[in-house]
Amino acid sequence: MSATPAVKTFVIDGVDASARPEQTILAAAREHNIFIPTLCHLDGLSDVGACRLCLVEVKGARRLLPACTTRVEEGMEVTCNSPRIAAYRQMTLQLLFAERNHVCSVCVANRHCELQALATSLGMTHVEIPYRFPSLTVDASHERFTLDHNRCILCTRCIRVCSEIEGAHTWDLMGRGIQSRVITDLDQPWGESDTCTSCGKCVQVCPTGALFQKNRTGGQGCKDPSFLPYLRTMREEP
Amino acid sequence: MTTLTEELDQITAKVQQEQQAAGDRINVCVAAGCLSLHSDAVQRALEEEAKKTGARCAVRGVGCMGLCSAGPVVSHESAASNSDEQAARLYGGVQSEHAPQLIASLQGEPVTKLAISRQLPFFTRQTKVVLENSGRINPESIDEYIATGGYRALMHALNEMTPAEVVQEISASGLRGRGGAGYPTGLKWATVARVAGAPKYVICNADEGDPGAFMDRSVLEGDPHRVLEGMILAAYAVGASQGYIYLRAEYPLAVKRLGIAIREAKRMGLLGNDIGGTRMSLNLEIRLGAGAFVCGEETALIASIEGHRGTPHPRPPYPAESGLWGSPTLINNVETYANVPPILQRGSAWYAALGTAKSKGTKVFALSGKVRHTGLIEVPMGMTLREIIFDIGGGVAEGHTFKAVQTGGPSGGCIPESLLDIPVDYDSLTQAGSIMGSGGMIVMDDSSCMVNVARFFMEFCMSESCGKCIPCRAGTAQMYGLLTRITEGTATHRELDLLIRLCEMVGATSLCGLGQTAPNPVLSTLRYFKHEYLAHIEDKHCPAGVCDCAASIAEVAR
């Protein structure tokens, strides 16, 4: 017998809303059909609060808070879309586009890319931040998949799905700051990885063209991460 | 059976007797600064000379005495003067070949060519609380710490006070976190004490990483038991049974001395199970940091202790609620813990009388850069920057003029001449666009280019960013690139405008303190030295003559 959980009531973008205990601002906002952009968040994976696109204003809070990791509290007043937040989101996207080599027209994920879709929906018309044009490699050593560092935005979804869902922990990060990059095992070629089960979950959750199936060319790299919440539900203790 | 308190008294009497019997005390600084000038060889030479001549003296290696620019530093306390620090003779620049002269001078006149006057404002203007033992006791001997009254505050608290009373005493003292942000220590302790859950942890943040900062290193190298006593008291106050000291591996001497201190405290029954015969238990371990600046951020530090990649995570939850392995965790800086024993020994009222209304006590600073006397100082809060730099520090070198002082490391800012009369406390420094920070203080004169200084700190933040969040990872790299273009003379107003907007965005959106404060050096130099930025952009000229704008001039000529 557990006590009936108290429902939290709060205001989001001027609309009265409710949330279950422990529910995040992001989850509650989606239930109320309020759009908050995300990149590192993915239903079915743990949240890391890293991409900073879901930052929202909470009345009384000193700083902007990530909607994906902040729990709703009774009486909270949340603003998801203000000119200030919109400007920050645009700049965050620009920083990503300028960080590595994102050339949509020749990308396997063209029209199936979450970064591209966000740039469109948030109205990013141009990039005023200088492009860095780093020299990055492509790892095509795996039999079925390819890793293209040029398109990676370091959202760490591949790392989380591999460790939390598949349980293989093939993926990880090395280096720090602007030098960070994803690696397989101890920075071996993906095709020589002892731990990779070739399940392909990492490819499906990758929001861009960084991870893709072989034999796909420009614009053919569809992704479908919708299996994740089902897997989670199936595995939950009754 | 003797109680531990009685044992401490016996040790005190024994040490005093031994010191009386040994005669004069010759203290050789063997902290990292002087050690790098081979003070260990000086110590050996003095020991040999004393043995050879049969002089009645004891040569000891001690922690930092403060005036690092005069190293290797040696002090001579005569047996007669007992424990009056001011009466001790001080020598600087001592080499092994000076040993015979020094030993010969014990009963006579001081060696004038090496002598440093105790009347220098560098010494007379300081108030030592945290550093009171540093440079005066052998940091590798628990007995000498006990002889200065050490571990009495702990025994008193364990036997006479409830944990709540200890928290109350710290709250009443007004102590604020010395790691930089200045969060009220009593409030933090009270929060951890109140949160239900076991086990609880205490952590000491000794991952000092600001460029030009060496306060925590000096405290750990000079008086490690003070930090341990503060941690044990904190553990008693919040109900913790396990503690970690997160110490950077780049401080091997501090690692060694802290290791000895923990072993000796365990041997004495001051750490481990049933401390001093009470039911209080605390196990302390050292965890070595592998040289990542971001691991000084509390959530990243906790991740690193847990064995994960040292990256921060969003707060809340704060460590007080859910910290190490999800348990309530108290995390304080070295200097904060070092302040605890004197507060409990002398009372919160005594401590609260030091400093200003909102910033109590003293603060240790590492004074460095273009100033005559560089080294480690401790001053009461509220002293002005001018007093610190010009009285204690002796001002800038002749032929140069003061330009700015940088406080707070890469999270802080540069304060110009016009604001030198502001008092040094948490709130005044924040108002001036800088922060108190952990205590690094870098003085700059007219030979420093402020754009280049901002670029230096941005390069530091860029290479120390963990890369987890986008604004800090990509933003610091972009800001560094823009600052480089300004120093090269290839930037226009468009780049400056973008730099300012990036500063605002990175500060507002970054995940942890590293990114949130990374723009501060740029913003503060823009606030007070915008003309230098404009000179680089409009005139392709570096006023300080530091930056090479020739690249752009060549381009224009072409």
CA A22 to chain CA centroid, nearest Å: 21
**In the Cβ-directed half-sphere of B311, how many Cα atoms lie within 13 Å?**
23
Q: Are B286 and B258 in contact (CB under 8 A)?
A: yes
Q: Give the integer Cα–Cα distance in Å for B418 and B391.
A: 17
CB atoms within 10 A of CB A37: 22
A8-81 is classed in which CATH architecture? Answer: Roll (3.10)
Fold type of domain B19-118: Glutaredoxin (3.40.30)
Counting every residue, how long is chain A? 238
d(CA B268, CA B4): 8
B324 Cα to chain A: minimum distance (Å): 17
Considering only the beta carbons, identify the residue of A50, A96, A172 that sits closest to B474. Answer: A96
Nearest residue of chain A to residue B470 (CA atoms)? A51
Collapsing DSSP states into helix, strand and coil, what is residue B371? coil
Residues of B in contact with A132 (CB under 8 A): 477-478, 481
Rounded CA separation B27/B62 (Å): 6
Please list every residue in chain A whose beta carbon sits closer than 8 Å to the beta carbon of residue B509: 52, 55, 64, 88, 92
Pick the CATH number of A86-217 from 3.50.30.10, 3.30.70.20, 3.30.830.10, 3.40.30.10: 3.30.70.20
Q: Scanning every residue of chain A, which has its alpha carbon at the shortest distance from the alpha carbon of B464?
A: A177
The CA-CA-CA angle for residues B531, B452, B527, to 5°, reads 40
Best of B304, B464, B469 to disrupt the A interface by mutation (most A CBs within 10 Å)? Answer: B469
ipTM, two decimals, is: 0.94
Measured between CB atoms, does A87 come within 8 Å of chain B? yes
Does B150-352 match B450-557 in CATH topology? no
CA-based nearest distance A99→chain B, Å: 6
| C-alpha separations of A57 from A67, A173, B33, B347, B452 in Å | 9, 31, 47, 43, 35
List the pLDDT tens digit at each of the 558 positions of chain B: 578 889 999 999 999 888 888 888 899 999 988 999 999 999 999 999 999 998 888 999 999 999 999 989 999 988 766 556 667 889 999 999 999 988 988 888 888 889 998 889 999 899 999 999 998 899 999 999 999 999 999 999 999 999 999 999 999 999 999 988 889 999 999 999 999 988 999 999 999 989 889 999 999 999 999 999 999 999 999 999 999 999 999 999 999 999 999 999 999 999 999 998 899 999 999 999 988 999 999 999 999 999 999 999 998 899 999 999 999 999 999 999 999 999 999 999 999 999 999 999 999 999 999 999 999 999 999 999 999 999 999 999 989 999 999 999 899 999 999 999 999 999 999 999 899 888 999 999 999 999 999 999 999 999 999 999 999 999 999 999 999 999 999 999 999 999 999 999 999 999 999 999 999 999 999 999 999 999 999 999 999 999 988 766 666 555
Q: How many CB atoms lie within 10 A of CB A174?
A: 12
- DSSP assignment of B410-479 equals GGSEEEEGGGTTSB-SHHHHHHTT---TTSEEEEEETT--HHHHHHHHHHHHHHH--S-SHHHHHHHHHH
Q: Does B475 touch chain A (CB under 8 A)?
A: yes
CB pair distance less than 8 Å for A177 and B464:
yes
- Find tokens 């030009």 and name the residue: B212
CA atoms within 13 A on the CB side of A180: 26
Spatial neighbors of A71 by CB under 8 A, at least 6 apart, are A22, A23, A24, A25
**Which pLDDT tens digit goes with each residue over B166-193?**
999 999 999 999 988 889 999 999 999 9
Question: How many helices and strands, by DSSP H and E, does chain B display?
Answer: 24, 14
Give the CA distances from residue A77 to residues A8, A11, A63, in Å, rounded to whole numbers and listed in that order.
12, 5, 14
Q: Report yes or no: A88 at the B interface, CB cutoff 8 Å.
A: yes
- Set of chain A residues whose Cβ sits within 8 Å of the Cβ of B507: none
Render B125-161 in DSSP notation, one character per residue: T---STTSSTTTS-TT-HHHHHHTTTTHHHHHHHHH-
A163 CA to chain B: closest CA distance, Å? 13
d(CA B530, CA B536): 10
**Which residues from chain A sit within 8 angstroms of residue B314, using beta carbons?**
49, 65-66, 69-70
Check whether domain B150-352 has CATH 3.40.50.300, yes or no: no
Work out the number of other CB atoms within 10 angstroms of the CB of residue B161. Answer: 18
* The amino acid at B1: M
B508 touches chain A (CB under 8 A): yes
Q: Which of B430, B460, B473 is the best substitution to test chain A (most A C-beta atoms within 10 A)?
A: B473
Please answer yes or no on whether A88 and B468 come within 8 Å at the CB atom. Answer: no
Neighbours of B279 (CB within 10 A): 8
- Residue B7 per-residue DSSP state: H
Q: Which among B429, B477, B431, B544 has a CA at the least distance from the CA of B533?
A: B544
Q: What are A10's strand-pairing partners?
A: A17
- Report the SS3 class of residue B486: helix
Partner-chain contact B476 A177, CB within 8 Å: yes
- Residue A1: what pLDDT? 43
Distance of CA A197 to the CA centre of its chain: 23
pLDDT in tens, B369-395: 999 999 999 999 999 999 999 999 999
Facing A180 at nearest CB: one of B473, B476, B498: B473
Decide if B409 contacts B211 (C-beta within 8 A).
Answer: yes
Residues of chain A with CATH 3.30.70.20: 86-217
Q: B287 near B305, Cβ under 8 Å?
A: yes
pLDDT at B27: 93
Q: Is B470 on the interface with A (CB under 8 A)?
A: yes
Residue with tokens 């994740």: A228
Of A50, A176, A180, nearest to B511 by CB-CB distance is: A50
B424 token code pair: 């040094």
| Tens-binned pLDDT, residue by residue, of chain A (238 aa) | 455 568 999 999 999 999 999 999 999 999 999 999 999 999 999 999 999 999 999 999 999 999 999 999 999 999 999 999 999 999 999 999 999 999 999 999 999 999 999 999 999 999 999 999 999 999 999 999 999 999 999 999 999 999 999 999 999 999 999 999 999 999 999 999 999 999 999 999 999 999 999 988 877 878 888 888 888 888 876 5
Q: B467, A175: Cβ pair inside 8 Å?
A: yes
Give the gap in angstroms from C-alpha B482 to the nearest C-alpha of chain A.
9
Residue percentage of chain B with pLDDT more than 90:
80
* Residue numbers in A near B477 (CB within 8 A): 99, 132, 177-178
CB B63 within 8 A of CB B222: yes
Alpha carbon of residue B253 to chain centroid: 15
- CA B179 to CA B463: how far, in whole Å? 21
What pLDDT shows up at residue B10? 93
CB atoms inside a 10 Å sphere around CB B171: 17
> Is there a contact between B462 and A178 if contact means CB atoms under 8 Å apart?
yes
* Sheet containing A8-12, strands listed edge to edge, beginning at the edge strand earlier in sequence: A15-19, A8-12, A77-79, A55-58, A65-66
pTM of the complete model: 0.93
Picking from A50, A69, A128, the nearest residue to B468 by CB comes out as: A50
Gyration radius of chain B's alpha carbons: 25
Cβ <8 Å between A48 and B313:
yes
Smallest CA–CA distance, residue B493 to chain A, in Å, is: 14
With CA atoms as reference, report the closest residue to A170 among A161, B274, A179: A161
We find that the CATH architecture of domain B362-445 is Roll (3.10)
Residue A101: closest CA among A56, A136, A67:
A136
Rounded CA-CA distance B411/A237 in Å is: 46
* Residue in B464, B469, B508 closest to A50 by CB: B469
In Å, how far is A235's CA from the nearest CA of chain B? 23
What pLDDT score was predicted for residue A4? 56
Helices vs. strands in chain A: H and E counts, helices first: 6, 10
Which of B468, B511, B512 to probe the A interface (max A CBs under 10 A)?
B468
Q: What distance in Å separates the CA atoms of residue B123 and residue B530, rounded to the nearest whole number?
A: 37
**Neighboring chain A residues of B478 at a CB cutoff of 8 Å:** 95, 98, 129-130, 132
pLDDT of residue A232: 82
| Tokens read off for B216 | 């925590």
Please report the pLDDT score of residue B469 as a whole number: 96
Considering only residues 148 to 207 of chain A, which have any Cβ-Cβ distance to chain B shorter than 8 Å?
153-154, 172-173, 175-180
| B325/A73 Cα distance (integer angstroms) | 25
Residues of A in contact with B510 (CB under 8 A): 52
Residue in chain B nearest A174 by alpha carbon: B309
The ranges assigned to domains in chain B are 19-118, 150-352, 362-445, 450-557
Q: Do B314 and A69 touch (CB under 8 A)?
A: yes
B47-79 pLDDT tens trace: 999 999 988 889 999 999 999 999 899 999 887
**What local confidence, expressed as pLDDT, does residue B336 receive?**
96
Domain B450-557 belongs in CATH node 1.20.1440.230: yes
DSSP-assigned states of every residue in A73-120: -TT-EEES--HHHHHHHHHHHHHHHHHTT--GGG-TTTTS-HHHHHHH
